[in-house]
Amino acid sequence: MENLIIKSPAKINLFLKVIKKLSNGYHELETAFQLIDVFDTIEFQNTSNKINVSCSDVSIDEEENIVFKAATLLKKVTDRNVGANIKIIKNIPTGAGLGGGSSNAASTICALNKMWGLGLSKNEMMLIGLDLGADVPLFIKGENAFGGGVGEQLLPKKSIDNKLIIISPNIFNSTREMFELFDSQEEPDNLLSQQNSFWKVFIEKSREIKEFYEKNSENFEICLSGTGSSMFIKYDNHLEREKILKIIPANWRFFLAKPLQYSPLKSLDSNGV
C-alpha cells in the first residue's frame, strides 16, 4: 500500500478522578473516554527508508513530534528497512486535554502497520503505543472505554447520546505541570472536583477560567476534559445550543461535536485482537 489518509479523532473525559500517586511517579486514575467527531487529518506516503514528518502547526517540531516518535519506534521494534512521508493537518488544539497528540500517535502506528505490511495485532500495537503515552492504547483500540490504571486499562462502554459543545480557551496546559500542581495542592476541593480532579488547580491557575466558571456554572454543567484546558457542555436541542454559544468568550475556539461509538481507525482492522 503506497498512500493512506487517516482522520485522527479527539476524545473527552466524561469524568477523571486521580486515585493516588504511584511509586513510579505515575498516577492511578479512573476515567471514562468518549471519542468525538473533531479530527486531525494525517496523510501517509510510503518511501524507501527515511521518516519525514511535516505539520500545519509550525510550532510543532518535527523530531519532537509524537508522530515522528511513533513511526521511529515502530520501525525500530519491527526491525524493518521502511520509511514514510507523513503530513499532519492539525485541527484539534494542542495542550487542550482532547488527546490530539495521542490520537495522532495511534493513527501513525495503525496506518504504518497496514502500509508497511507488519501484521501486528491490535494488542501488540497497544503495547507499543503505551510507551508513547497512557492515552495512545485507547485510540488504537478505537472504542469508547472506562479507563483504569494510568489510563491504559480499558473496559468497553457505550457512547453517550448528547451532542456537545467543546470550549477551547486557547490555553496550553502541560499534562506534567498539571499533575505537579495537583500533587502540590494543600487540600483538594472535593465538591468542585467531582467531575474532574483537576478543576481546582485549573481554576486557580487562570483568572480568565475562574471568572468564566463562576459566572456560568450555576446555569450550565461545565465539564473539564483531561488535565484541561478544554471544557465541554452537553446539549440536546437547538435552544440549549444557542444558550451555550452565547456564554463563550469571543476570543475562544469552540467545536460543535457529536459522540462517536468507534474511531475511523476501526476501518483499518484486519488482524485479530
For residue 272, the model assigns a pLDDT of 40
Concatenate the DSSP letters of all residues of 136-155 into one string.
Answer: HHHHHHTB-EEEETTTTEEE
pLDDT tens-digit series, residues 141-195: 999 999 999 878 999 999 999 999 999 999 999 999 999 999 998 776 667 779 9
Dihedral, 157, 220, 253, 145 alpha carbons, nearest 10: -10
Q: Are 152 and 141 in contact (CB under 8 A)?
A: no
Rounded to an integer, what distance in angstroms lies between the CA atom of residue 216 and that of residue 57? 32
Backbone angles phi, psi at 99, to 5 degrees: 75, 20
Residue, of 33 and 1, whose pLDDT is higher: 33
**From 75, 114, 135, 200, active-site residue:** 135
Per-residue burial over 143-155, b = 16 or more CB atoms within 10 Å of its CB, e = otherwise: bbbebeebbbebe
Name the nearest CA neighbour of 172 among 88, 230, 234, 237: 230
For residue 150, the model assigns a pLDDT of 85
Rounded to an integer, what distance in angstroms lies between the CA atom of residue 14 and that of residue 31? 7
Pairing mode, strands 51-55 and 83-89: parallel
Pairing mode, strands 3-21 and 27-47: antiparallel
Please name the helix (run of DSSP H) or strand (run of DSSP E) that holds residue 72, with its range, or none.
Answer: helix 66-78
Pairing mode, strands 145-148 and 231-235: unpaired
Confidence label for 270 from pLDDT (cuts 50, 70 and 90): low
Residue 269: pLDDT over 80: no
For residue 162, the model assigns a pLDDT of 97
43: left (phi over 0), alpha (psi -120 to 50) or beta: beta
Confidence label for 1 from pLDDT (cuts 50, 70 and 90): low
Number of H helices, E strands in the chain: 8, 10
Confidence label for 268 from pLDDT (cuts 50, 70 and 90): confident
For residue 188, the model assigns a pLDDT of 66
pLDDT mean over 21-28: 89
Give percent of the chain with pLDDT exceeding 90: 85
DSSP category for residue 93: P
Q: Which amino acid is at 228?
A: G
Q: Are 9 and 261 in contact (CB under 8 A)?
A: no
pLDDT tens-digit series, residues 202-243: 999 999 999 999 999 999 999 999 999 999 999 999 999 999
For residue 158, the model assigns a pLDDT of 97
11 catalytic? Reply is yes
Measured in whole angstroms, how far is the alpha carbon of residue 77 from the centre of its chain? 24
pLDDT tens-digit series, residues 53-82: 999 988 777 678 999 999 999 999 999 999
Measured in whole angstroms, how far is the alpha carbon of residue 159 from the centre of its chain? 16
C-alpha cell at 205: 491557575
pLDDT mean over 193-200: 93
Q: Are 89 and 5 in contact (CB under 8 A)?
A: no
